[in-house]
Amino acid sequence: MKLFSFFKQELAIDLGTANTLIIQDGKVVVDEPSIVAINRLSKETIAVGAKAMQMHEKTHEDIKTVRPLKDGVIADFQAAENMIQGMIKMIGTKRRMFSHLKMVICIPSGITEVEKRAVFDSADHVDSKETYLIYEPMAAALGIGLDVEEPNGNMVIDIGGGTTEIAVIALSGIVCDQSIRIAGDEFTNDIIAFMRRHHNILIGERTAEQIKINVGAASTELDTPPEPFAVNGRDLMTGIPKQIIVTYKEIAQAIDKSISKIEEAILKALEMTPPELASDIYKTGLYLTGGGALLRGLANRISQKTKLPVHVAEDPLRAVVRGTGLALKNTHRYSFLIDRQSS
């Protein structure tokens, strides 16, 4: 048995719009941005992950950077395959002689059958012999330590890069869910538009991402506000590079509409919840995971809107991949994993 396990490689993959994480043997071995750099002429992959991110929006005409996932699903099949392959190579060569690759990949709950097929096909192309899919809210619930098999209702809100997944989970299944394509990427676009409108300055995606990390907020009233942040960009009037200072209040104003849409989806999911599960949620509250959970003041804002306690997961960025790792260890036990046969 030991010998067989030596020839087996097991990976849990959180294939995210913004970041891809891979767990092997219970450890996060890859945590990289979901992006590849490709040579336009030879179609070769030049860089994957952080190296490709350094090139993003700075390339000349022979190189292009591609983010293969859009709104949580594979938009560019070839680039996604190259990215998965490149990231599996990052794990190292110490187990190159494997003959059996087993993977659990997490997917948004609002995904279509065609989009599911694309994930399976990508896994086939990287020679996965056994592939399972798990829905993101279910993986997030496992990752934050909830007992998903109990007859108790728990609501998980996972705000990722491309989608926000809201699901009520009980008895190893998703009872009701809302999946909306408003999340981290949308916040980034809101910030770019706001800078253009209010400051006449043009900034790129990477700068907007930095603004979000440094002064991103969901509320204009914070107990411990972050320091104002210096932003460099191109002045739209003169065309000359310039610097301005932005505060968290401005960013809260910029992303306010997108956050309101997330609040609406949460209320809609609560409306759809059966009464007995709703009474459980009243006791346990809501669980917030994903990169969006790190937005300052977001938990308070959702709590005020729903009048329910909101818990932010510990290390929310890795909650989904931790849960996928647990599902990988117990593929025989969990009935909510989707495999090729049942799809």
* pLDDT score recorded for residue 99: 65
Tokens of 235: 């002045």
Question: In the predicted model, is pLDDT for residue 251 greater than 50?
Answer: yes
pLDDT in tens, 78-133: 899 999 989 988 887 555 555 688 999 999 888 889 989 989 998 898 888 899 99
Tokens of 113: 């059958």
Q: Where in the chain are all domains bearing CATH 3.30.420.40?
A: 2-138+320-339, 147-182+257-316
| Whether domain 2-138+320-339 has CATH 3.30.420.40 | yes
* pLDDT score recorded for residue 341: 58
- Radius of gyration (C-alpha) of the chain in whole angstroms: 21
Q: Where in the chain are all domains bearing CATH 3.90.640.10?
A: 184-256
* pLDDT score recorded for residue 203: 96
* pLDDT score recorded for residue 336: 87
Interatomic CA distance for residues 68 and 72, integer angstroms = 10
pLDDT in tens, 176-215: 999 999 999 999 999 999 999 999 999 999 999 999 999 9
> Which residue type sits at 131?
T
Nearest alpha-carbon partner for 107 in 196, 174, 51, 204: 174
Angle separating helix axes 113-125 and 77-90, nearest 10 degrees:
50
Nearest alpha-carbon partner for 68 in 45, 90, 36, 44: 36
* pLDDT score recorded for residue 105: 93
| Whether domain 184-256 has CATH 3.90.640.10 | yes
Question: In the predicted model, is pLDDT for residue 2 greater than 50?
Answer: no
Mean pLDDT of the residues in the chain: 91
Question: In the predicted model, is pLDDT for residue 141 greater than 70?
Answer: yes
Give 147's contacts (C-beta < 8 A, 6+ positions apart). none
Nearest alpha-carbon partner for 70 in 80, 59, 60, 61: 80
Interatomic CA distance for residues 100 and 97, integer angstroms = 9
What architecture (CATH level 2) is domain 147-182+257-316? 2-Layer Sandwich (3.30)
65 pLDDT tier (thresholds 50, 70, 90): very high
* pLDDT score recorded for residue 343: 44
pLDDT in tens, 266-304: 999 999 999 999 999 999 999 999 999 999 999 999 999
Tokens of 210: 């930095």
Q: What is the pTM of this model?
A: 0.91
